[in-house]
Amino acid sequence: MSFYDDGAVEMNKTRAHWALTALEAFGGQTGQREYFDGTLTIAPEVIREVAGDLIANIFHLARMNDLDPESIVAAAELHFEEETQEEVEEVIEIEISDGISQLEDFLKGQAK
């Protein structure tokens, strides 16, 4: 079974849950755990604060290992763009498929 079996939209929800798990774990270490209730509905300012703290700490770790933090941002942006593009392509594919089905039904009705 693949992560993609349920489609790109569901895969990206799974990715969001993974991020939530990371933020909750980080928040547990930094005293910010109470900001989270286990759902994906989180106040934007909470995401900005806690994720910002976590990303800053990842940057410290990267720098300690001779990695430019900007390369992490670039890689993350690339992944995000590709993953959201998969959602767009999935919606287009569904719309095309639905349109073809509707056209076939219409043509069958005309042939009678």
pLDDT, tens only, 10-22: 999 999 999 999 9
| CA distances in angstroms from 88 to 9, 24, 52, 78, 80, listed in the order given | 9, 29, 28, 15, 13
Q: How far apart are CA 39 and CA 13, in angstroms?
A: 11
Across 87-111, average pLDDT: 82
pTM assigned to the model = 0.79
| Per-residue pLDDT at 112 | 62
**Distance from C-alpha of 9 to C-alpha of 64, rounded to nearest angstrom:** 36
Per-residue pLDDT band for 66 (boundaries 50, 70, 90) equals very high
Instruction: Return the percentage of the chain with pLDDT > 90, whole number.
Output: 73
Task: At 76, list the tokens.
Answer: 């993350």
Q: What are 61's two structure tokens? A: 């770790």
pLDDT in tens, 10-61: 999 999 999 999 999 999 999 999 999 999 999 999 999 999 999 999 999 9
Domain ranges of the chain: 3-111
